[in-house]
Amino acid sequence: MTNRCCAVSRPPSSQLSDEQAIIDTIATSTDGMVRLAGGSFLMGSNDATFPSDGEGPVREVSLDPFWIDETAVTNAQFAEFVAQTGYVTEAERFDWSFVFYLFLPPELQNNAAVPSAPWWRQVYGATWRQPEGKHSNIDKRADHPVVHVSWNDALAYATWCGKRLPTESEWEFAARGGLRQKRYPWGDVLTPQGKHQCNIWQGKFPEKNTGRDGFLGTCGVRAFRPNRYGLYNMSGNVWEWCSDWFHPTFRQYDSASNPHGPPAGTAKVVKGGSYLCHKSYCNRYRVSARTHNTPDSTTGHMGFRCVLTA
C-alpha cells in the first residue's frame, strides 16, 4: 500500500527561504466552537490495513478540557484572515499546487503528474482562491473548507485567531464523539440504513466518482449531520492538519496524558480522510486512521480546524 493518494508532497528542495511577516492576533473568540470536557479514551486501532501508518496499538489517553471548531475553516473565514493581515499562502508563493486531474479542463490534464499517484497534477496558479487553477474560483464555495493551505498557513491562521492546531489525540478524541472504539464518528457501519454520512469517493478510484453521496469535490462544512459532540465532517471532505510531527511508532511511547507527538520530524500528521478516499485504496476516513505530509505541502484536499485550551 502507498499513501500518496492521501499526502502528495512538494519536493524537499522546494523550501522557501524568506519568512512571512509576523501575524498580529485578534481577540480570541469561542464562537463556532464546542467545549469538550476532556477525560480518558481509547486512541488508535489494531487495523492492519496500513502498517506503516502506525495506528496501533490501542492505548488509553487522557486529555484536559479544550475547545474545538465545529467545522473546518471555510473559504470565507480564511478570506477574512487574508484581508486583515495581507497573508500570502505558500501555494501562492510557490505559484503552484497539486490538483486532482478530473477537476481540470482537457488542456491541463497533461500537466506534470506525480509518478506514484498520476491522478495528481502540478497546476500553476492553483491556490486557495483558485482551487483548480486560474480558470476556477470560490465564488460559490464560501462555506466550503479552505484548501491548498500548508501546515504553516494553517498555523498562521490559528495564531491570528489566538488559537492553535489540535494535537492528534485531541483531534481523534473529538472525532469519536464519545463513542468507544468505533470506526467512524457515527458508529461502525459506513452507510447506516443506506444513508451517506460523509463525503468520500463513490465508484472506481480514480477513474469514476459517481457522486452518490451528493458531491464530487469538497462540500459545505455542514453538509452532513454532526457527531455527538456537535462536530461536522470529522470523516471525509478534507484532510485536517494536526500539530504533531509524524512518526509510525512514537505515539505508543508518547505520554498517556495530553500527548504531543515526537519533538521533531519532517512531516506533520493529517487526519480524517477526504473526498478522494475509497475503501479500495485509501480507507483512511476511519477516525483512528492517520497519514502525514510535509509542512509546506499543499493540495486540493487538505484543510484544518482550530482548537483552544479551555
Residue 13 falls inside a structural domain: no
Cell matching residue 198? 460523509
- Cα–Cα dist 89/128, whole Å: 8
By residue range, what is the domain housing residue 190? 46-309
Residue 32 falls inside a structural domain: no
pTM: 0.94
Residue 10 falls inside a structural domain: no
Q: Cβ(73)–Cβ(146) under 8 Å?
A: yes
pLDDT of residue 19: 47
Task: List pLDDT tens digits, range 145-164.
Answer: 999 999 999 999 999 999 99
pLDDT of residue 20: 54
Residue 128 falls inside a structural domain: yes
Distance of CA 216 to the CA centre of its chain: 17
Residue 40 falls inside a structural domain: no
Q: What is the CATH number of the domain that holds 254?
A: 3.90.1580.10
Burial status of residue 21 (CB atoms within 10 A of its CB: 0-12, 13-18, 19 or more): exposed
Residue 302 falls inside a structural domain: yes
176 CB-near residues (< 8 Å, 6+ apart): 41, 182, 185, 227, 287
pLDDT of residue 1: 30
- Total residue count of the chain as it appears in this document: 310
pLDDT of residue 2: 37
Beta bridge partners of 184: 187
Residue 234 falls inside a structural domain: yes
pLDDT of residue 16: 55
- Cα–Cα dist 285/277, whole Å: 7
pLDDT lower than 50: segments of the chain: 1-3, 17-19
pLDDT of residue 15: 52
Residue 156 falls inside a structural domain: yes
Residue 78 burial (CB count, 10 A):
24
How many structural domains compose the chain? Answer: 1
- Cα–Cα dist 128/238, whole Å: 13
